[in-house]
Amino acid sequence: MKVSFPFRDPGISRLIVDKIHEVASELNHVKIMDFCGTHEWTITQYGIRSLMPKNVELVAGPGCPVCITPGYYVDVAIRLAIEGIRVFTFGDVYRLPGSSRDIPKNLEEAKSEGADVRIVYSVSDAIKLSKDGRESVFLAVGFETTAPATLGPICRGEVPRNMSFIVVHRLTPPITRYILENYPQSPIRGIIAPGHVSAIIGASEWEFVAKDYRISVVVSGFEPIDVLLSILEILRQIRDGRAELVNEYSRIVKWEGNLKAKEVMRSTCDVVDAGWRGIGFVPQSGLLLKRRYSDYDALTKYGIRELSEEAWEEDLPPGCKCAEVTLGMAKPTDCPLFKNVCTPERPYGPCMVSSEGTCLIWAKYGGDELLRGLREEIRYKG
Amino acid sequence: MSNMPSDDDFIKLSHGSGGKETTRIVSSLILSLLREDMMAVKGGIGTDELDDGAAIPIGDGRYIVVSIDSYTVNPPFFPGGNLGKLAASGTINDVLMMGGKPIAMMDAVVVEEGSRIEEVREIIQSFIEILREEEIKLIGGDFKVMPRGQLDKYVITTVGVGIAEKLIVDSNLSPGDKIIVSGTVGEHGAAILAAQENFSVEGELKSDVQPLKHLMLSLIEEFGHSIHAAQDPTRGGLAQTLNEWASKTGHLITVNEAEIPIRDEVRAFTELLGIDPLSLACEGRVVLGVSPADADAILDLIRELGYEDAAIIGDVKKSEKYGGMVVLESVAGGLRILEPPSGTIVPRIC
């Protein structure tokens, strides 16, 4: 049975890869950052690194919402769970380690010690289950993609009074600006901008990357051919001395985004400075429920303080390089713990937990050196 | 509190999911206690090989093949079958994968107090129906009841017995061999996952559970000498089977993603959840490692027997540097390592 998805066609893929090699041969070393965890997944799942010329390096960015969720909020959820409150969360967050040593390491461990922790696939499942009247908390992580889904029911009054939220939603353009601003030595020459996020916020939100920092930026879809086309576009721009915003994913992403979803975020939340795991406080990068919705804010409801910049503490385990990996400054293989102390079965750092975490993806599917070697070994005709 | 119990002190679900963690805990709890001479009957196959079953020589060049497995599935009734059909088919298949012709079975049925007798009857009827169709005797068994709340409904353990002229021992997989899969993969795992989570796609996803006696006995009869390895890719799916073979033999296994048969429904469902169909269980498929000269003829025979989706999906290679790995060439032409599944399967969020 041949796969017949047009965006995965091996013949088209080969043509684009040939073009990439042709354009790259006129360039020096080029580092391209794929922002989004799902892009990193596509790149590894389809072996795109093994198809790149030697001078084109693909690095992952901070696009795994689980990896950058501060340990503080995981600890809050674990403590509430131990106190008998039912905690709902997405599967990826289930094994995410907190940062306190005095309580179970993650929600999975809290559950195996008797706490009521439930994995759900959507907020609406959690709302349905909460109609039974039990005190419940939803640990809401994610970028602009998931935020409207969490926040919509709150502003529509669909959430029962016994349910509240730990809102750890984070915004993607501010962290991108933060990286470009704070790491001017970064050799990133192009950015593959997140497709799902852009469907919400609009492609226009990425224009600053090209305008303010003279870096090529392409909003990309998630099929292998989308990503290959985006890489080719970035390389062509670099060759021609251009830095522009291009929307490769125009079949889904509009220039202005999804106005309804944006309105949901705007009407329920204030944009605030917010913590990113391993990175610290990033200006105007998080969502906080507005005061009129504070009944739904688990931290307010249970009298727990919000995380503040003054109280920010290093929340990565000792020796963990997740922050550098997240910022695209290091590869997982640069970390001495990688596949050594830190493995998919026993994750040590947050990037080894989520299926979108760069370290987990590399551990499962292999990084670039290994794949290049393998390709030669099996005399792959590439 | 410094005396908090650590992660290592508890059995977790992932210890039973059939992947790396299962291998590790079985080694540490059981195999580490066995002296080498306790692992197999002289001249036979045992826990030293960790194949689909065990073999004991019976003197005339033939072997008795024995296989045991416990079955528990939530929900016990799922699209395409139920626990009884699964318990019969799974063990029949394990005997076949060793090269044995299954002739008899024993079962141990454990039921939770308060279960509906009609439901138990339906499960047992399906179990017996498979044995009748496959002409296998039920030569003994056990029936127990556990107090309410001490068991999640039912556990059925089955022991399968067969006779083999020539054993199929997976460690015989050799460089140059071709990898064949007898049909579309991941269907049982996807159907169960959908049923557990009440996904509305349920109707389109059906377990592939079925005994493979006719297929395997025909293959063994015609091409016995060319079949070097055979496994039914149950827990951990195709990814687990290929990784077990690669690490057992120290060879490199390469597979071509475009050739791996997967139903569109399964592909759509697994992509939605962000899980890999190659790590989902099959209960009615066989993966074979066969000598290259007969690969096409074997494929033709499998298809003639009604398994039209069967395909040659990969090769076995000798490799100094990358031995023990499974590498997959993606539909886009790139390479990725196909890891054995680990952890319990949880969906990703966006």
Check CB contact of A128 with chain B, cutoff 8 Å: no
Q: Which amino acid is at A301?
A: K
Whole-angstrom Cα distance, residue A248 to residue A286? 27
Look at A278-287, A367-376, B185-194, B196-205 and tell me which has the smallest mean pLDDT.
Answer: B196-205
- Would you state the structure tokens that stand for residue B52, as one six-digit string? 């689909």
Of all residues in chain A, the one with the smallest CA distance to B2 is A102
Neighboring chain B residues of A46 at a CB cutoff of 8 Å:
330-332, 334, 336
Mutation for testing the A interface, residue in B197, B331, B344 having most A CBs under 10 Å:
B331
Strand B326-329 with B335-337, pairing: antiparallel
Check CB contact of A366 with chain B, cutoff 8 Å: yes
Q: Over the Cα atoms of chain A, what is R_g? A: 21
**What's CA A150's distance to the chain center, in Å?**
17
> When comparing pLDDT for A41 and B207, which is higher?
B207
Which domains does chain B possess?
34-164 (3.30.1330.10), 170-337 (3.90.650.10)
pLDDT of residue A311: 85
Over residues A285-313, the mean pLDDT reads 94
Residue stretches of chain B with pLDDT short of 70: 1-7, 18, 199-203, 343-350
Note whether B12 contacts A363, CB cutoff 8 Å.
no
Neighboring chain A residues of B327 at a CB cutoff of 8 Å:
374, 378
Note whether B349 contacts A344, CB cutoff 8 Å.
no
- For CATH 3.40.50.11740, the residue range(s) in chain A are 71-171+257-301
pLDDT of residue A182: 85
pLDDT of residue B161: 98
Looking at the predicted structure, is the pLDDT value of residue A5 above 80?
no
Of all residues in chain A, the one with the smallest CA distance to B261 is A1
Neighboring chain A residues of B184 at a CB cutoff of 8 Å:
1
Which of B331, B343, B350 lies closest to A3 in CB terms? Answer: B331
Which of A9, A50, A146 lies closest to B350 in CB terms? Answer: A146
**What's CA A121's distance to the chain center, in Å?**
17
pLDDT digits over A304-349, tens only? 999 999 888 878 888 888 888 877 788 898 999 998 889 888 888 8
Note whether A366 contacts B336, CB cutoff 8 Å.
yes
Check CB contact of B185 with chain A, cutoff 8 Å: no
Given the cut 0.90, state whether the ipTM is greater than it: no
The H or E element spanning position A272 is strand A269-276
Q: Quote the percentage of chain A above a pLDDT of 90.
A: 63
Whole-angstrom Cα distance, residue A217 to residue A92? 28
pLDDT digits over A123-171, tens only? 999 999 999 999 999 999 999 999 999 999 999 999 999 999 999 999 9
Neighboring chain A residues of B317 at a CB cutoff of 8 Å:
378
Give the other-Cβ count within 10 Å of A9's Cβ. Answer: 18
pLDDT of residue A382: 36
Distance from CA of B80 to the nearest CA of A (A): 22
In this structure, what is the dihedral angle of CA atoms B106, B111, B115, B118, given to the nearest 10 degrees?
0
Neighboring chain B residues of A374 at a CB cutoff of 8 Å:
322, 325, 327, 335
- For CATH 3.40.50.11750, the residue range(s) in chain A are 6-62+173-247
Q: Which amino acid is at A158?
A: E
Of all residues in chain A, the one with the smallest CA distance to B342 is A345
pLDDT of residue A347: 85
| Residue in A29, A40, A8 with CA at minimum distance from that of residue A331 | A40
Which of A3, A48, A380 lies closest to B258 in CB terms? Answer: A3
pLDDT of residue B5: 57
Domain A6-62+173-247 CATH class label: alpha beta
In the DSSP assignment, the letter for residue B339 is P
pLDDT of residue A380: 46
Check CB contact of B7 with chain A, cutoff 8 Å: yes
Confidence of residue A301 (pLDDT cuts 50, 70, 90): very high
CATH of A71-171+257-301, one of 3.40.50.11740, 3.30.230.10, 3.40.50.1000, 3.30.70.2190: 3.40.50.11740
pLDDT of residue B345: 55
Neighboring chain B residues of A105 at a CB cutoff of 8 Å:
7
Look at A37-51, A366-380, B39-53 and tell me which has the smallest mean pLDDT.
Answer: A366-380
